[in-house]
Structure 1
Amino acid sequence: MGTPEFSVPVLEALVAAGHDIAAVYCQPPRPAGRGKKDRPTPVEARARDLGLMVRHPVSLKGAEEQAAFAALKADIAVVVAYGLILPQVILDAPRQGCLNIHASLLPRWRGAAPIHRAIMAGDTETGICIMQMEAGLDTGPVLLRATTAIDAGETTATLHDRLSQIGADLIVEALSHLSELSPEPQPQAGVTYASKIDKAEARIDWTAPAAVVDRQIRALSPFPGAWCEIDGQRIKVLGSGLADRLADGPTEGQGAPGTVLDDALTVACGTGAVSLLRLQRAGKGAQDRETFLRGFPVAAGTKLAQSEPAQ
């Protein structure tokens, strides 16, 4: 049971390990692209390539869908970024319950956006937990966990791909040693929630410290993409780094927050400065800084539009 690209390596690993996949559940196809034609999710597309039965109900709350799920007589359900709430009757249907692959070190970052939130918060490590599912939001006991460092230049895109593969490897290990694993209840201390990313969070506030701005840019890359206005145009910023020469102190005398300090897109923040490394104009592809500046020069002294004050 999974939907986005993150879930595809898990499906592939289960098949490669020789497990009999009774069915693949995912979100329904949705309109996409210029023609707004229904497009199958990444999991559905891969499942069909593999010759597997695919189901994509809009909800699992109805008696008919619940009966169809129970009729599979599955030993276990593997759930990873599926996107639907599983009612208790669904959780209870597989003989050995439902296992969730969650992209954080529970109980930290329960919820919808654990990868984004870990980077945004400045965490130095994260990981994957294989969890027995129960009715609460990511509250179940943990069977296995694996840890990975969050590197200084990490974006959600790079961390997403690494965690996806870790999850695929870890679920295969969990299933092969299921009878030997002891579920570990999550501690009450250290619980945090990774709320869904709101697009309102994406506008860059240059008055924040450089470290905060840098984490925001990397956490929201590639989606939804942190953005600012340059010469009246909305520009997504998909890559950044701290400007070493200005990483710690204020930038008084060189420029107020939001001022471009040189010809290489170093921008003053509340304290310190960030270097903008990868950018995207509306209707165009993402470009590295040098390519972007050749087509859209930004001179030192340019003032970037500030974030609107919070309401």
Structure 2
Amino acid sequence: MRLVFMGTPDFAVPALRALHNAGHDIAAVYSQPPRPAGRGKALRASPVQQAAEALGLPVRHPVSLRRNQEEWDAFAALEADAAIVAAYGLILPQTMLDAPRRGCLNIHASLLPRWRGASPIQSAILAGDTQSGVTIMQMEAGLDTGPMLLSHAVPITPHTTASTLHDTLAELGGAMILRVLAENPAPRPQPEAGVTYAPRLTRDDGRIDWTETAQAVDRRVRALTPWPGTFTTLDDGTVLKIGAVELVDAPLDNRPVTALPGTVLDTRLTIACQDGAIRLTRLQRPGRGMMEAADFLRGQPLPPGTLLGNPHPDHD
């Protein structure tokens, strides 16, 4: 089948490779333009562009598709049977949605209509959902509102992180889009009930609020690592990035009755929350790499009684 592929981040790469390995004719790959990255801010091609070039596929990366007649004409001239879209990052105008014979098919990392929008993987973990999945959807002008062609669920466990769920769903999406192209299932309208939206994340979403429950803090760390990352602060404004935590199940015999949320309770970095406690297992101070808690404490002790979480907006 003659296809156009449209995607940008790592999530889209398994689908691109699956389509190529299955023998589909990929006429062009669209990806967002190279962006400055790293300490030197040199331009870096997206993961999809890098994968496409390694496969010998032509890549287009328009800055915008809005009122871009030249790009619309180039897209139509590809005469694709379908366009496969996976986390591309640009809104497709109606003229592009209508150009391929079978339209544009989106690989979305949620069980629609739950978690339409930009951060479905993180939002599912944050909310305490017990499952996530992939939906292949026929695209239309609305935000992830199109009819569904195929969906498949996977469990979210108490140990699932955004990274592990991302990788699982990325591979699943590649297998599912092959099935949709082969079987051409009938579209099903999305249910009107159960619609939720996953907002675009910012760095401040990673600020730990110790007045939340221990379970909520644990979910935030699992959901927002590695991006945008979670952090807390010391009373001097020092930002501590948090890479991993664990729930403390045993009773805290030495916990002061009056300990405020955010209080360091012992020498193992057990932190009081509004309800229960968590233990920091990986963290990072400014100018250093992420490290295990024991290694961190050798360089910067945090004695019991230290209070974490004072606001400090100027974090990295």
Q: TM-score, normalised by structure 1?
A: 0.93
What are the Cα deviations for residues 227-265 of structure 1, in whole angstroms up to 9, with x where unaligned?
A: 001463211112122111259xxx651621111111111
Residue type of the partner of 2:48?
V
| Secondary structure in 2 matching 1:244 | coil
Structure 2 unaligned blocks of 5 or more: 1-5
Supply the distance in 2 between the matched residues of 1:223 and 1:115 (Cα, whole angstroms).
Answer: 11
The answer (yes or no) to whether the contact 2:264–2:305 under 8 Å persists in 1 is: yes
What are the Cα deviations for residues 93-118 of structure 1, in whole angstroms up to 9, with x where unaligned?
A: 01110000000000000000001110
What stretches of structure 1 move > 6 A for 4+ residues in a row? none
How do 1:190-269 residues align onto structure 2 when only pairs under 5 Å count? 190-230=194-234, 232=236, 233-246=238-251, 253=257, 255-269=259-273
Query: In the alignment, which residue of structure 1 is the partner of 2:3?
Result: none
Residue type of the partner of 1:2?
G
Residue type of the partner of 1:66?
W
The structure 1 residue matched to 2:138, chosen from 128, 132, 140, is 132
The answer (yes or no) to whether the contact 1:103–1:115 under 8 Å persists in 2 is: yes
Tell me how far 1:199 sits from its aligned partner. Answer: 2.2
The answer (yes or no) to whether the contact 1:207–1:270 under 8 Å persists in 2 is: yes
| Secondary structure in 2 matching 1:21 | strand
| Secondary structure in 2 matching 1:123 | coil
The answer (yes or no) to whether the contact 1:246–1:273 under 8 Å persists in 2 is: no
Supply the distance in 1 between the matched residues of 2:251 and 2:145 (Cα, whole angstroms).
Answer: 42
Residue type of the partner of 1:137?
L
Supply the distance in 2 between the matched residues of 1:162 and 1:254 (Cα, whole angstroms).
Answer: 43
Q: TM-score, normalised by structure 2?
A: 0.92
Query: In the alignment, which residue of structure 1 is the partner of 2:19?
Result: 14
Tell me how far 1:37 sits from its aligned partner. Answer: 1.2
The answer (yes or no) to whether the contact 2:205–2:228 under 8 Å persists in 1 is: no
What are the Cα deviations for residues 184-206 of structure 1, in whole angstroms up to 9, with x where unaligned?
A: 11000000000111322221111
Residue type of the partner of 1:197?
L
The structure 2 residue matched to 1:297, chosen from 270, 290, 301, is 301
| Secondary structure in 1 matching 2:27 | coil
The answer to whether residue 72 in structure 2 is matched with residue 66 in structure 1 is: yes
**Which is further off, 83-92 or 148-157?**
148-157
What are the Cα deviations for residues 242-289 of structure 1, in whole angstroms up to 9, with x where unaligned?
A: 111259xxx651621111111111100111111112212233322222
How do 1:29-48 residues align onto structure 2 when only pairs under 5 Å count? 29-48=34-53
Alpha-carbon RMSD across the aligned residues, in angstroms, is: 1.7
| Secondary structure in 1 matching 2:220 | helix
Query: In the alignment, which residue of structure 2 is the partner of 1:148?
Result: 154
The answer (yes or no) to whether the contact 1:205–1:306 under 8 Å persists in 2 is: no
| Secondary structure in 1 matching 2:25 | coil
How do 1:118-129 residues align onto structure 2 when only pairs under 5 Å count? 118-129=124-135
How do 1:73-152 residues align onto structure 2 when only pairs under 5 Å count? 73-152=79-158
Structure 1 unaligned blocks of 5 or more: none
The answer to whether residue 169 in structure 2 is matched with residue 163 in structure 1 is: yes
Q: Are the structure 2 counterparts of residues 171 and 29 from structure 1 closer, same or farther at C-alpha, using a change threshold of 3 Å?
A: same
The answer (yes or no) to whether the contact 1:119–1:155 under 8 Å persists in 2 is: yes
Supply the distance in 2 between the matched residues of 1:75 and 1:125 (Cα, whole angstroms).
Answer: 33
